[in-house]
Structure formats: C-alpha cells, structure tokens
Structure 1
Amino acid sequence: MPTPNPNCQASALRIGGLQPLTTLDYPDHLACVVFCQGCAWQCRYCHNPELIPRTPDPGLPWRDVLDLLDRRQGLLQAVVFSGGEATLQPALPAAMRAVRERGFKVGLHTAGIRPGSLNRVLPYCDWVGMDVKALEEDCQLITGVRGSGRANWASLELLLASGVDHECRTTVHWGLFDCQQVQRLGERLAGAGVRRFVVQLARAGRMLDARLGEVGRPAEVEGVWRYLGQLFEGFEVREVA
C-alpha cells in the first residue's frame, strides 16, 4: 500500500492567516507563522479572537504555505504553527511532516488544550512555546472553561517529559493576576523543571473581553521580576502587541 502523501493530508488544515517572516516566534530563527483556526477556550485577554471560531471559510490554502516555503528556501529556517489552537486540527501532524520534508524546523505555539492532541504532534516538533495560563486552580478565570487548568498542566508534564526544546510563557493582565500569583506560578514552574520562562504583559486593545481595559502595573512588580530571574536559567518580560 502506498505511503500517504503528507502534503495531500495537510491540505485539510484550516488556516486563518500567514505571517511570512518573524524573528520573534521561534528563538534565534527566521521563521514564518501559520495561524490555525479554532480554539476551545475563551481566554479573556486573547489578542487573536477572530481565530477562536472555525468558520465555514476554509481560509488560506495549504498550497500557499508551500509556495512561500519554496520561494524562501535558504532564508527561512522554521515554520511555527500557532492559533487559535493548532493541535485541535487533525491535519496538523501531516502539515508538520510536510514542513520537515522541505528541510525546515517545526515550531508550535500551544496551550495544550487537549493533552492527547499535543502528545500526537510532539514527535514532529523541534521547539514548543507552551502557554501556561495560570496556576492550575486559577486557569478557569482566564479561559472560561472548567477543567482547563488540569489539561494545561497535564500538557506541560507531557512536554517536559518529551525532551523537546521549549519555553513556557504566561500572559499577564493585571486585572486577572496579582504579584503574589505570578510569583507562586513561577515557583511552581521552576519546581516542575521548567528552565525558560517568559511573562508576556497584555496591553489594552484588541482583546476578547474588552471590559478588562488598561490596568497599571503594581508598584512591587520589579521585585517580582528580579526574584523570578533567580529561579530560571532564562527569564524574560515581553510586551504583547
């Protein structure tokens, strides 16, 4: 029986957008980003809310992604699958295989919404950016979904056990977090074996829950950053556009 063509299987991937060049989404690599449609969570600070629903429109054809990769051989080093939540799409493993066959590394941005879905694509990943939403017991406040904390942290365990290169990052909106929660989260991540941790600071603008608005940073936050810097081999604070 002939081996299935991964490009043919990947054509079912529902793509909501394509960023042709980035230096930010895969550490130390020039990459493009494939934004996949669909997400099962409703994170209140989500800055890509248009990608949450899977629309009837199949979006950008997979062929367009392959054409970009063919044109940028020798320039691009990696392809990052983001979302939405890319791991919810059955076509993702085939898309990752097709990218690897062209000689590119594969990156994944994920929140591990379904641990089993993450586990099936980890063998195709060279690097993962893992969104740890909050402490397990606090995740529902962010996602609006019961049981999301259990799934988020179970996926983190799978990632840590896989040996795949990664960083963990948490988006912090000061209307949803306080400094003590961020500090406890960092301590728990470090205790679990996380070595690289990024705090992404949400800014008011295009968010799913517009009621969050702009909240000033707590006065004691610089002390928290110094403390977290001592817990991890790599720690960084980033602004979310």
Structure 2
Amino acid sequence: MTDTAVVPVLALRGISKRFGAVQALTGIELEVAAGQVLALVGDNGAGKSTLVKAIAGVNQPDEGVIEWRGRPVVIHRPQDAQQLGIATVYQDLALCDNLDVVGNLFLGRELRRLGVLDEVEMEKRSRELLDTLAIRIPSVRIPIASLSGGQRQTVAIARSLIGAPSVVVLDEPTAALGVEQTAQVLDLVERLRERGLGVVLISHNMADVMAVADRIAVLRLGRNNGLFDRRRTSQEQIISAITGATDNAVTRRQARDQEGTS
C-alpha cells in the first residue's frame, strides 16, 4: 500500500515571464504546503519579485500553470489571488500613518452595521487577532505612525489575515529592522506556520531564512537552482546555489548564452 501524495496548497508549474527582450522567469517550479515556511532566495535580478507578482496577480505569466489545491487557476488581478486565499505583504507595507491600528487592519474590509461603521466590533476583532498572534502594541487605537518598524510590520502581516488566507507571501519582512524587531517578526512567521498557513518568505537575510524556513528554494537568472531541506542544508550550500557555484546545467547554459550575446 502506497501513501497518498499530499497536494500542495499552491503550486507553480513551468512559469515563464518575459518583459520585452528580457526573460525574467523560465520554467519555474514551486510548491507551497500548508503549515510550512518556504523561503525564496536569490541574488538581485534572480526573478523573486517577478515571481511574487505572478502569484499575487500583479503580472500574469506568459507560460505555465498556477494550481490551487490541485486544480489549475488563472490569477488575472490581485483580487483573484485574495479570493483564492493568497495574501501578499509587500516590503513597503502600504500602511496609512494617519489611521490607527484598527483602521489599518480593516482598511478596505470595514465592518458596517445599519450603514454605519461598526467601530466596536472592529476594535474587538482587532484585539482578538493581535492576541491570537501574540502581537504586543500599546493600544489598537494608537496611530500607526507611533509604532516601531517591527510593530508596523507585524500589524501589516496581521492585516493580511483578516481575509482568512491559506497562503501568506512576505516580501523582505525584516529588511531595515533591528535585532529585537526582527525577532518579533520571525516569531510571528512561526506562529503563522503553527496556524497551518503556507508561508512564502522572500529574504536576503540568510540568518532569518535558516531560523524559520522549512524548505528553501533558490532562484538564479530566472530559473530554479535548487530546493533544499533547511534541516539538512548548510548556509554555505545555499549561498553557493545563489552565487552560482553550484549552478544546475540549465542555469549554466543560460549564463553562457547571456555572455555570448553581451
């Protein structure tokens, strides 16, 4: 008797994307499982941002298939991704400094009662959500502008959960944060995993990746260049894949082609 294969929540099959003469992605394969953190790493220009935008519905792939729970889907726009259950938190956070925490958490998803904003219910749900995630801030009515960088990041991540997603994509969530603030964000990433969410973590910080990732996918020159089990992989092996010291054959051929046309 054979074990039944686990169907990933989100899967990318042969995803390619071109911008004019630039081939940004070629044949990308990626799977995101429930209750796991998949780190997506690569040097600048490796294709990480393009891949994230394809998942989030900002840019549509030219080739390939996106699967959601085993069935092909088409993500034409960000709303399509959100309706499926994919939430993306970009590096710029897109928080409104003049609004308080409650206002930011429910921005675009405001609760109304008899045509009027239900401030009491939104505040209640905000407290419950932050308590569940063990996010500590002075008050849910404090303006976002008054919070630290780490607190702002955790609020942005918490906001992504309002729509009850199954997959959360975090784009450089610890960039420009101090040690203590980074620890707050990484703790939250682990709590997302404990809640059974699939987490895609895009990061340049290898210490952060090695601290929380279950699997690590390396992109190089717009192609897959390795998928690693973090528990069986050293940081040096990941860096070698990122820099090209352990290129796969396809990536080496692409690099030679690029050199020949330069």
Tell me if TM exceeds 0.5. Answer: no
Greater RCO, CA 8 A, separation 6+: 2
TM-score range, shorter chain: 0.3 to 0.5
Greater fraction strand = 2
State the TM-score, normalizing by the size of structure 2. 0.32
